[in-house]
Amino acid sequence: MLYLISLIPFLILLIYDFKKMIHMAQQNLYNDDNRFLRWTIKDMKQLKNPLKCSIIVLITYLIIIILKLNTMYVTMIYFALVSVIILVMKIRLNKNSDVKISLKVTSRVKRLIFTNLILFLMVLFLTFYLKNVNVRYFVLFTYDVLINFVIILSIIINKPIEKMVYLSYKNKAVKKLKSMGNLKVIGITGSYGKTSSKNILSDILNVKYNALPSPKNFNTPYGLIITVNNYLDKFDDILIAEMGAYKVGEIKQLCNLVKPKYGILTKIGTAHIEIFGSQENIRKGKFELIESLPHDGIGVLNADDPLQVNYKLKNDCKIIWIGIDNKDADVRAIDIKTSNKGTTFNVIFKGDKNKYLFTTKLLGYNNIYNILAALALSKEFGLSVDQMKKAVLGVKSVEHRLELRSAGNITYIDDSYNSNPVGSKMALDVLKDMPALRIIMTPGMVELGDKSYELNKKFGTYMKGSSDIVILVGEKITKPIMDGLKEVKFNEKNIHVVNSTKEAFSLVRSLTDGKEAYCLIENDLPDIYNE
């Protein structure tokens, strides 16, 4: 009984750690392509204070076991006390974490919880057969220290079940799509801008049709299956499917599922190059959408993207080129003017001598490209220019993608979702045009593989001229940006380094001191990358 009572602080610590790590596993796609394993190794290499303390405790237990020190009661008190200390340290370490995407307790998470509970009960049951109480505690504490690997083991154990669940829901989705013979499916992919492009296209097409965009960032096989099964109904004319990928073949898999007739390729960059392996693999993966379209399908490509222009397309479907710089584009934007209120621009359709003035609340060239792609398909779907103008004026900004948010004297330009080299440069161009104090807050860009240092350093050099104050989140991860800032001789008095986004927001408020200011939030998931 005393043994079980002594476990109470440890169990609270274990639950706390499990909840945190199952959240990280979910954000890392349940270890698909070993993402969660890589994150775990990277996190352990940082050797934060609670982990240091845990390792010291394990070493202490080993010494106690070897030298046969301590009575049972002393060991129990020591174990309970250590569990409380480490729990308090972890709570204090994580209190500044800004969780942008909270844990979703899905059916899959529930199954993982059940599997982990069984594994823990097996280990706990095993400890009752260990005569040495120090060895018992050593085993339990090791279990907590290695909880990430236990979660990975649970994911492996659950794989057959998850496959059966997936096939069941997939067959249901395929059957539903076959029953809707008149449904038009549009696929959207690219290295970035997919969600914005999807939502913009939906806002415009819904002027005339019932268009359903896949919700939020539902861009995986599971996401699209859920979209079809839970959101698509008989009144929908169009399904707009966002398609994400981390390796060659995944877009093709999504196309085989929903069979799009229309496709938009936003832009090809270096996002997720660490996982894809090379930029050529990224290009091949993204073009799987266009090459999966039927012969009577329509693909929309970006004439300002050399990686798209120079690609030898293996499909004879109709291609519509959009652009800003390329004068040969079929749908082109000119005379672009940006302010803190939004953007105005003229649109030229090839074969039409007229120029059409469009106004949008959105900011940034990325969004102009997204609007052009939407206009290109909307014209094919029979929308008039007046309908398109009205729709573009009413398009809402997408959360965390150059989204304007006012907070008293500060206007935040929230571009905090999945930062990438091209998008971050365009975001800085937006900040550059703002009429008051300009601040950038960022932990830099991730998943750039061998190019991570080089691209983040360039990002730092671009800040001169577009930013008055730089706030870097995390000293280690932002070192390349700091090197770039030093290279261009950015005023060091206006560079600040903090450990979390919570600290960064507090600093923004103190630095502005009630004066008008614009703060660009340019980063990836802060709850994963805080230091």
* 3-state secondary structure labels for all residues of 140-171: HHHHHHCHHHHHHHHHHHHHHHHHHHHHHHHH
| Two tokens, residue 351 | 């074969």
* 187 DSSP assignment: E
DSSP state of 177: H
> Look-up: residue for tokens 């199952």?
22
Q: How far apart are CA 251 and CA 234, in angstroms?
A: 26
In a domain, 407, yes or no: yes
Helix (H) or strand (E) holding 391: helix 385-394
| Alpha carbon distance 439, 273 (integer Å) | 29
Domain membership flag for residue 348: no
- 59/11 same-domain check: yes
Tell me, yes or no, whether 466 and 371 share the same domain.
no
> Cα dist. 343→302, 358, 530 in Å?
20, 8, 34
Q: Which residue type sits at 503?
A: E
Please indicate, yes or no, if residue 256 is contained in any of the structural domains.
yes
Task: Decide if 316 contacts 295 (C-beta within 8 A).
Answer: yes
Taking only the tens place, the pLDDT of each residue in 70-79 is: 566 777 777 7
Both 241 and 388 in one domain: the answer is yes
Query: Residues 319, 324, 327, 331: is their CA dihedral positive or negative?
Result: positive
CA distance 238 to 260: 10
Which residue(s) pair with 347 in the sheet?
333, 356
Residues 186 and 277 grouped into a single domain? yes
Query: 342-349 and 356-360 as β-strands: parallel, antiparallel, unpaired?
Result: antiparallel
The residues, ordered by sequence, that sit 6+ positions from 122 with a Cβ below 8 Å of its Cβ are: none
Domain annotation covers residue 353: no
In a domain, 192, yes or no: yes
For residue 100, the model assigns a pLDDT of 59
Six-digit token pair at 331?
Answer: 């749908």
pLDDT of residue 71: 61
Residues 7, 39, single domain; the answer is: yes
Instruction: Judge if 149 and 92 occupy the same domain.
Output: yes
Predicted local confidence at residue 278, as pLDDT: 81
* Residue 510: inside a domain: yes
User: Across the chain, which distance is largest between two alpha carbons, in Å?
Assistant: 92
Note whether 113 and 200 are same-domain residues: no
Closest among 286, 90, 289 to 185, alpha carbons compared: 289
In a 13 Å sphere around the CA of 377, the CA atoms on its Cβ side amount to 34
Q: Is 111 exposed, middle or buried (0-12, 13-18, 19+ CB in 10 A)?
A: middle
The two three-digit tokens of residue 272, written as one number: 């997720």
pTM: 0.76
Pair (17, 116) in one structural domain = yes
The domain of 93 spans: 2-159
Q: Which of 373, 394, 415 is the last residue of a domain?
A: 394
Final residue of a structural domain among 101, 128, 159: 159
Q: Which two tokens stand for residue 471?
A: 């706030």
CB 471 within 8 A of CB 504: yes
Looking at residue 527, what is its pLDDT?
A: 47
Asked if 124 and 17 sit in the same domain, the reply is yes
CATH number of the domain encompassing residue 467: 3.90.190.20
Total Cβ atoms within 10 A of residue 356: 15
Q: How far apart are CA 10 and CA 137, in angstroms?
A: 10
* Average per-residue pLDDT for the chain: 88
Q: Residue 238 is encoded by which pair of tokens?
A: 């169009």
Burial code (b: 16+ CB inside 10 Å, e: under 16) for 375-399 equals bbbbbebebebeebbebbeebebbe
- Give average pLDDT by consecutive 10-residue segment, the chain, 531 residues: 79 93 89 85 74 72 63 74 84 67 88 96 90 82 90 96 95 95 95 89 96 90 94 95 89 96 89 70 92 96 94 93 95 90 93 94 90 97 96 86 86 82 86 92 82 91 94 90 95 92 89 91 60 49
- State the Cα–Cα distance between residues 64 and 47, nearest whole angstrom: 24
Indicate whether 173 belongs to any domain: no
Whether 258 is covered by a domain: the verdict is yes
Specify the number of domains making up the chain.
3
Q: How far is CA 315 from CA 16, 28, 30, 368, in A?
A: 52, 34, 35, 27
- In angstroms, the CA 289 to CA 71 distance is 67
283: CATH: 3.40.1190.10
**Cβ within 8 Å of residue 106, ≥6 positions away:** none
- Among 394, 418, 449, identify where a domain stops: 394
Separation CA 378–CA 206 (nearest Å): 10
Residues 88 and 43 reside in one and the same domain: yes
Let me know: does 290 contact 243? Beta carbons within 8 Å.
no
Q: Are residues 409 and 374 in the same domain?
A: no
308 with 201, same domain: the answer is yes
